[in-house]
Amino acid sequence: MKVEQIYTGCLAQGAYYITSNGEAAIIDPLRETKPYLDRIEKDGVKLKYIFETHFHADFVSGHLDLCKSTGAKIVYGPNATCEFEATIAKDNQEFKIGDATIIALHTPGHTMESTTYLLKDSSGKDYAIFSGDTLFLGDVGRPDLAQKAANMTQEGLAGLLFDSLMNKIMPLADDVIVYPAHGAGSACGKNMMKETVDTLGNQKKMNYALNQPNKESFIKEVLDGLTPPPAYFGMNVAMNKKGYESFESVFNNGMRALSPQEFEVAAESSGALILDTRNPEVFAKSYIPQSINIGLNGDFAPWVGALIADVNQPLLLVTELGKEEEAVTRLARVGFDNQVGHLKGGINAWIEAGLEVDKVNRISAEQFSNDVKIGESKVVDIRKESEYAAEHIDEAYSKPLAYINDWIKDVNPKEHFFLHCAGGYRSMIAASILQARGYRNFSEIEGGFKAIAETKVPKTNFICNSKILKV
């Protein structure tokens, strides 16, 4: 028996590939199926089952394409309802994979169908659990995402999650390996460890959620500090339940190379948003007007989902040369299937065609240090509130990027302000959105707070609520 974790860092997501005696199973696959199909062919095994721990909100699963390619059965836990053929397991139902056994443990709470899969080796010994979003390392799944579908409150779901953990997970032996669906960086939890594999025994000792004295305390602690989920989550759940266009079809559309003239016509006629995936420092110097910059070298897909929100939005892509496939694939993973095509030859082709370009007023941290007047100048800090609380520039306003669509309307277009994040990635996203909506009255700071911290600009960890609530 062999277990392989296939971890995708940009989504902080873990899929799992299990083989035993000529048969295989895959748990929570990503949308692009070729890596799994290549492994199956290389190992000379037959894919028997595709197990889903729940209907995922933060990515589109590859279950349907895998099923079509291999004939493997799709398995969900109790309470799951979907619009395609699938096996809906009963609690404690067993599935054989060669000499190994997988048992479906119904663990509702994150969602009503959430299921943990217990893997037993050929001797019948409990070997590992694939806990989905029920149990993370250092945390548990947030119980506020499925409340509307379950017709329950988040408190009610949190109570179910407590019962699932105490009755199904905690009784298992300490040496059982925990393989979660996500790690640090995922929006599906709030306190996840950077590690992606652990023993259950260690989690029993250090996971705050597993060490609450009672259900009431558990509910309070698990719900405390949850931020609103990204808007695209519900759309991904719907795609995972109802079905979706094949990844191959989406990929072929996104890989359609458009000349600068064709790209310009498509932008004007299709209502497409121009998404520029280049690095912030390159984007700032020259970009197609009205483009939104979300760089591939960062939390690309989560920010696309959080800020564009509507997965049906038509998209035209501008990428670094050779990065087209990566951009198309990472967008498809989170359900952005309406990809019109990409700019052939990249931004250089656009410039050589004599077409209009724009730029961002990006200044160095040293220049900011010389120009800013604390108490007079307006400084907008778009990091998370927790980052702002840890340390920030004196008199800076806290305006997290995640809420830009709410606070942008309060910006005075006639008053200059300085804009920064932690390192420059998020502030360039904000800068591109601001300029696309007509705001030109700001300077974005290269290197963000990390670079500013090396200057003489005064900083504090004192929080003034008025600076958080309004500009």
Provide the 3-class DSSP secondary structure of residue 46. Answer: strand
Instruction: Supply the pLDDT for residue 10.
Output: 85
Instruction: Supply the pLDDT for residue 309.
Output: 77
Q: Does residue 15 carry a pLDDT above 50?
A: yes
Contact assessment for residue 30 and residue 55, using Cβ atoms and an 8 Å cutoff: no
Give the torsion through C-alpha atoms of 26, 31, 36, 41, to 10 deg: 120
Percentage of residues of the chain with pLDDT beyond 90: 90
CA distance 142 to 7: 21
List of domains in the chain: 2-234 (3.60.15.10), 245-352 (3.40.250.10), 362-469 (3.40.250.10)
Instruction: Supply the pLDDT for residue 469.
Output: 46
Q: Does residue 464 carry a pLDDT above 70?
A: no
Q: Provide the whole-model pTM.
A: 0.91
CA distance 107 to 204: 17
Instruction: Supply the pLDDT for residue 86.
Output: 98
Provide the 3-class DSSP secondary structure of residue 87. Answer: strand
The single-letter code of the amino acid at 188 is C
Instruction: Supply the pLDDT for residue 471.
Output: 46
Q: Cβ atoms within 10 A of the Cβ of 324, count?
A: 22
pLDDT digits (tens, 9 = 90+) for 414-432: 999 999 999 999 999 999 9
Contact assessment for residue 300 and residue 326, using Cβ atoms and an 8 Å cutoff: no
The single-letter code of the amino acid at 269 is S
How large is the average pLDDT for residues 17-37?
A: 97
Where does the pLDDT of residue 207 fall: very low under 50, low under 70, confident under 90, or very high at 90 and above?
very high
Where does the pLDDT of residue 230 fall: very low under 50, low under 70, confident under 90, or very high at 90 and above?
confident
Instruction: Supply the pLDDT for residue 468.
Output: 53
Q: Does residue 467 carry a pLDDT above 70?
A: no
How large is the average pLDDT for residues 436-458?
A: 97
pLDDT digits (tens, 9 = 90+) for 62-112: 999 999 999 999 999 999 999 999 999 999 999 999 999 999 999 999 999
pLDDT digits (tens, 9 = 90+) for 369-401: 999 999 999 999 999 998 999 999 999 999 999
pLDDT digits (tens, 9 = 90+) for 109-150: 999 999 999 999 999 999 999 999 999 999 999 999 888 777
Contact assessment for residue 236 and residue 311, using Cβ atoms and an 8 Å cutoff: yes
How much is the mean pLDDT over the chain?
95
Instruction: Enumerate residues 6+ apart whose C-beta is below 8 A from 20.
Output: 1, 2, 97, 98, 99, 100, 122
How large is the average pLDDT for residues 40-50?
A: 97
Of 4-18, 37-51, 182-196, 403-417, minimum mean pLDDT range? 182-196
C-alpha separations of 274 from 68, 226, 279 in Å: 33, 32, 15
Provide the 3-class DSSP secondary structure of residue 7. Answer: strand
